Structure 1
Amino acid sequence: MNWDTAIQQFKNYIRLERSLSANSIEAYIHDIVKLKQFTEMSNWQVMPLDISSAHLQDFLEYVNELGMTSHSQARILSGIKAFYKYLMYEDLIDKDPTALIEGPKLGRKLPDTLSFNEIEQLFNAIDHSTPEGQRNRAMLEVLYSSGLRVSELIDLRLTNIYEDIGFLRIIGKGDKERLVPVGRDALKYLKIYIEEVRVHLNIADGHENYAFLNRRGKKLTRVMIFTIIKNLAKAIGMTKSISPHTFRHSFATHLIEGGADLRAVQEMLGHESITTTEIYTHLDRDYLKQVIQEFHPRS
C-alpha cells in the first residue's frame, strides 16, 4: 500500500467512523504527510506499512532540529500514533512502530492574561465612529464575555445567538456543542452592530448567517481578528504580546479569581478535562500567596 492510498483511507476512517471535525482531520493528515515527505527526502523508498521505530526516531530528531516547540512535536507524534493504530485496527500491520516511542516532555506554560483595566483600555481605543469600530467592539466584548476560541468567534451564527436568555450556542472542537452565557454589555454592543451596521452590508452568498462580517459581506478570518487586536495593543502602547486567545485566558482567570466554580468554567470553555481548566488558577494562588506574605505574622 502506498502513502497516498493509506492516507486517504485513514482520512475516510477518522471522518466517517470517528466523526472528527474538519480542522482535526486536516491536522492529522498534515502530520502524516510530514512523515511521508521526510521518507522521500531521506530516499528511504519505504511505504507506510514498512515504517519501523528507527525510521520514526530519525523523523522525530529531524522535527526537533527544525526548532519546533515540544507541544508541536507532541502533536505531530500524536497524529502519527493515531495513523498506526488505525493500520493495526485494520490488520494491515501486526506491530505498531510507535508503541515504544515517547513524546517530548511538556512543561505547562502559564497563559498570558490581561487585567480588567487593560481590557477596558483596549476597548476604549476602538474608534466607534466607524462601522468596523462598532463591529470590533461587539466582537471583542463577545470574545471576553464568553471566553470563545477565535474559530468559534468567526463561526458564530445569528441563529445561535439567544438574546432573550443571554446565551450563545457554540460549535467547538470536534463539532461539540455547548451553551455559553454572554454578558449584558456584550449583548448590547452585539445588538447595536447587528441592527445598525450589519443590516447595511451587501452580504455575500453563503455568509448570510455569520454574525461578524467584513466590508465585502463575508465572514472574518482568523488573521483579521489577530490584526485587529495587535493594532489596538499598539494604539495604547501595550508591550504584552496578545492574541484572541489572551481574551479567553483572561475570561477564565477573572472568573476563577472572582470565586467561580472550576467545573462551571470548564463547561463554559468547552474543556474535555478539568486539568486543562486548572491552569487558570495560577493567579488565584498568587493572590493567596500575596495575602499570606502581607498579613501573616510569621511570613
Structure 2
Amino acid sequence: MADTTQRVLSLLNLLQSRPVWTGAELAERLGVTTRSVRRDVERLRELGYPVRAEHGTGGGYQLGAGKALPPLLLDDEEAVAVAVSLRLAAGGTVAGLGEAAVRSLAKLDQVLPARLRSEVKGVIEATVSLDSPVTAVDADVLVALARAIRTPERATFDYTKADGDRRERRVEPYRLVAAGRRWYLMAWDLDRDDWRTFRLDRMAAARGTGWRFKQRDAPDAVEYVRASITQAPYQFVAKVRIAAPAEEVAARVPSTMAVVESDGSGHSVLTAGADNLDYIAYHVVRLGWPITVLDPPELRDAMRVLGERFTAAGG
C-alpha cells in the first residue's frame, strides 16, 4: 500500500511538471506497466484530480483544471518559494494581498517541515523592501491568529499601546481585517469583557492556547473595526452633512479616515474622529460640496477660522 501511494504521488508530480505525457513515458519514468499507469490515473480521479486522456497522435495524459483546486505536490524549492511569497504578502511587502494570502499561509505552515521552515525564515530575514505599500507585520502573528480563529481557540499576544505600555492580552479572536495600510484583529478581550480592536503591527509572540471557546454573537467585523479606527481613539467625533450622494463621497474619502452613510435625497453624513478639529475642517472643506456641521459645535468655530484664513490669504 505504501509503494502504491508513493507511486501515485510520483505520478501526480509528473503530471504537474509538464502538459502532456504518453502512457509509455509515464510507465518508463515510474518503472511500471502502462496498465499500472491506467489504474493509478483512476486513483487520482477518485481523489478529485481531473486527469484527461486523449487517444491518437499527440495525445496522452493531461492534468486538467477542475471545479475545485486539488492539493499541490511541491518539491522543497517550490515549497520554500511559495512560503516566502505568502509571508512577504501577508507581512505587507507585496502589493495586492488579501485575506487569501493569510489563509493560504496558515494552511501551508501546518504541513511545512521544520527544515524548510527554518530556510523560509532565513530568506525572510535577509529580505528588505524599498517601498512597502502597507505597515509590515510579523507573518507568524498572522498565521497564529488565523489558526486560532479557524479552530476557534483562545489566543494570547504581547501588545504595545501607543503610549509604549506593553502587556500580555488574552482574547477570543474573531476576525482579521485588512484596512488601508494596516491589519487589525477584532476579538473579545477576556480581561476587559468586551469587544476590542488590535493593530497587528503592535503585536508580538501571538499564540493559540489550546482552550477552545463557543463563539459569541458579534457585530459586523468590518463596521466595528471601521468605527474603532475612525472614531474611538480620538478626542473629538465630528458629524457633517454633505450635499452629495454617499457613494460619491465614499469614493473620495478613505474608509480608514471616516464613515460615510446615506442621508436620503442625494445627501450623506460623514463621521470622523480627530484630536484637532482644524484637521477635520480642512479635509471636509476640500471635498468641495456644500456642508452642514451637525456635531460638535466647536467644529463650526474651526470652520469659521479656516474661512477667515483663506480670505486673508486671498488678499
- The structure having more radius of gyration, on CA atoms, is 2
If each structure's strand is expressed as a fraction of its own residues, which one has the higher value?
A: 2
Say whether the fold is shared (TM-score over 0.5). no
TM-score norm. by structure 1 comes to 0.22
TM-score norm. by structure 2 comes to 0.21
